Amino acid sequence: MRYGPAVRRRKLGAELRALRALAGLTSGEAARLVGWHQSKVSRIETGRSGVKPADVRLLLDAYDVRDPELHELLVVLAGSDDDGRQHWWRAYRGLLPSSYSDFISLESQAGAMRTLENSVVPGLLQTPEYAREVTRTVVGGALDGEVDALVEVRLARQDVLRSNRPLRLSAVLDEAVLRRTVGGPEVMARQLDRLREAAHLPHVRIQVLPFGLGAQIGVTGPFVIFSFPNKSDLDVVVLDHLTSSLYLERKEDLQAYSEAFNSLQDQALSPEDTVDFIAGVSDGG
């Protein structure tokens, strides 16, 4: 059974704690109703422990929660895995920081991903050679074996674009992403070709922000917005930092970043013009 990432466990725990309080129950009383130890209820409510969808239903029945939409929402937060995909990245535990594992988990569950990049090509669109150069730079001092494993993870993540229900990816790239030579001219040429190929996929939309636009909101830094197929209020904004990631789920944050992304898309070249633009850069333009 699959569990959600830490950010979603915490949200689920908070929701269940509020429903227990609304039912007028202490954690000990709730535990006795479902036949658990009180510590299990506490671990779930604080997000320290994952919880199976069946256990969520048990708690909701104990709290006399009858709203079917709320039932569905909380079961989704628990990480119900109807498509059978496994947590393949667990094979790399000990190598991946927890924030990166959380990111991959969100990516694997999302129905759509919107991303702004102003420095490097998004991981889902990187070639193996490009990914290796970026990894070597970001993880300074890493052994060759560690770099190999991290590149494997990066490439395995790209399966979300090739599944039966592929992730819908919308990427806005600053022109600097295309101009910055990573790994030398040959590596960069293959990477630009990869971007043009990906741009023709029906579920991938790539747009470039040319330098000529001047300052725009994208200069504040890259971000990712994950949207999920069941409930819109499960959307998550991810801000990536050098040593950690920040996950935002407040409605105000989601609205602000969604509006910012929409504005960037409006300013950027169209997907068709973007393909021509990438071709021009590839030809030395």
Radius of gyration of the chain (CA): 21
pLDDT per residue as tens digits for the range 158-212: 999 998 999 999 999 999 999 999 999 999 999 999 999 999 999 999 999 999 8
Q: What is the dihedral of CA 153, 100, 161, 86, to 10 degrees?
A: 80
Q: Which helix (H) or strand (E) holds 39?
A: helix 38-45
Q: How far apart are CA 50 and CA 43, in angstroms?
A: 8
pLDDT per residue as tens digits for the range 11-56: 788 889 999 999 999 999 999 999 999 999 988 887 777 788 889 9
Do the Cβ atoms of 228 and 109 come closer than 8 Å? yes
Do the Cβ atoms of 4 and 79 come closer than 8 Å? yes
Q: How far apart are CA 155 and CA 13, in angstroms?
A: 33
